Amino acid sequence: MLSDPLEAWDLLCAALSPLGEESLPLASAGGRYLAESVRADRNLPPADRSTVDGFAVRSADAAAAPVRLRVAGELAAGTAPAGTVGPGECVRIFTGANLPAGADAVVPVEDAEEETGAEGRGAWIRTRRPVSPAEHLVRRGEHARAGQVLLPAGARLGPGQVALAAACGCHRPRVHRLPVAAVLVTGSELLSPDAPAPGDHEVRDSNGPLLAAALAAEGFPCGPVRRVPDDLGGTVESLRGAAASAGALLVTGGASVGKYDFLERALAELGAAVHYHGVRMKPGKPQLFATLPGGAAVFGLPGNPLSALVGLHEFVLPGLRLLAGCPPAAARRGFSLPLASAATPAADRWRLLPARLEALPRGTAAAPLACGGSSDLVAGALADGAVLIPPGTGALPPGTPVEFRPWGSPP
């Protein structure tokens, strides 16, 4: 059942569908994926508006400079205009205020000299330069037209998107529910991270904190990390118990084929459908994806920490985003970058090389990190993402375009 990474991703996408919907207040909807589109409920802006502090004028009156104009009134943002700007007149206007009738341009305050006369200071201005029609204005509907889709279903509500929804009056958007995750770390050798003096044969658990931190960073709810000894019965009961309260089970270790790897056998006892077991990639080969009869998704990750980190970003977090309503094309990002230094491929597997982003004179490049194998958590912690190299590729010199997968939340 060994799959290549592309096939494994397709199997993941085919098995996972967005969860149900709910309406949330905007203050609670950040980070969620929209279940329905957000449309402009009116033109944006709804009227011609000034983009500067200055004086609303008839451009025909101010087509030459200097010209003397009488100040006929004042308009602040949020004030409804009254009256019409007549020939030889202007209205003092502030940024964001609607343009009064008759005016079709704005003279910035720095381009006008206020005169002091019998009527007092500010009753007249003298322009310092000509203005053209529509100068220093944003037109009605220039940003969006009423009814226009501004945020499609599947868009993630980041800060800018929340602000746009608010501007459209969408104060309780319909969004997809978040998957609730459970983290199980298997391995009798694992100790708590606060273990003071582990023996040379023992290992502080880094995978549990890794997964908990990744879930928290993306806003996925997660209960306490559970440690599971290398035991078939204990693995079965741990999976069953976790599935009773979580829709996604993240399990580290136990996914290989050794004597103390019990995950696949435990899943078989629970009647799970295993969609792939083993991915033709380095690091990260011993991992699986399955679904339990009740619908819970099970992501089996390697026990080696760098392999777990790679599998987390390549499959687990993208899979959770699918459940949360993210479209497949956006759930796992990648873009082309040149290599900052040479890279060596693997002969028979996809290679995912931890890499840092480097700013070079000609732009950003991906610099593969020296890596000591699947357990090299130091390299993983220094990486901004991974470079993907297909099998059978020759040595890649600096400057070769490669696909770079960033490790972080989608925009």
The SS3 of residue 146 is coil
Query: How far apart are alpha carbons 161 and 271 in whole angstroms?
Result: 42
Question: Which residues are 75's β-sheet partners?
Answer: 93
Q: How many CA atoms lie within 13 A of 64 on its CB side?
A: 1
Global pTM reads 0.91
Q: What is the CATH number of domain 335-406?
A: 2.40.340.10
Average pLDDT of span 341-355: 91
Q: What is the pLDDT of residue 3?
A: 86
Q: List pLDDT tens digits, range 116-174.
A: 766 555 699 999 999 999 999 999 999 999 999 999 999 999 999 999 999 999 999 99
pLDDT tens for residues 377-401? 999 999 999 999 999 888 899 999 9
Across the chain, how many H-helices and E-strands are there? 10, 26
Q: Residue 117's pLDDT is what?
A: 62
The letter for the amino acid at 388 is L
49-138, CATH topology level: Molybdopterin biosynthesis moeA protein; domain 3 (2.170.190)
Domains 21-44+150-176 and 49-138 belong to one CATH topology? no
Are the C-beta atoms of 102 and 169 separated by less than 8 Å? no
Q: What are phi and psi of 358, to 5 degrees?
A: -125, 135
Q: CATH classification of 5-16+178-331, choosing from 3.40.50.720, 1.10.3720.10, 3.40.980.10, 1.20.58.390?
A: 3.40.980.10
Is the pLDDT at 374 greater than 60? The verdict is yes
Burial readout 32-42 (b: 16 or more C-beta within 10 A, e: otherwise)? bbbbebbbbeb
Parse the chain into domains and list their residue ranges. 5-16+178-331, 21-44+150-176, 49-138, 335-406
Highest mean predicted confidence (pLDDT) among 196-210, 251-265, 312-326 = 312-326
Nearest to 224 by CA among 177, 267, 181, 179: 181
Task: Determine the pLDDT at residue 196.
Answer: 85
Cα 402 to its chain centre, rounded Å, is 22
If you search the block for the tokens 């901004």, which residue do you land on?
384
Tell me the per-residue pLDDT of 3-56, one tens digit each, with 9 for 90 and over: 899 999 999 999 999 999 999 999 999 999 999 999 999 999 999 999 999 999
Q: Where are the beta strands (DSSP E) in 134-196?
A: 137-138, 149-151, 174-176, 181-186, 190-191
Q: What mean pLDDT comes out for the span 318-345?
A: 96
Structure tokens at 317: 């977090």
What CATH superfamily is the domain 21-44+150-176? Molybdopterin biosynthesis moea protein, domain 2 (3.90.105.10)
Q: For 296-315, what is the mean pLDDT? A: 97
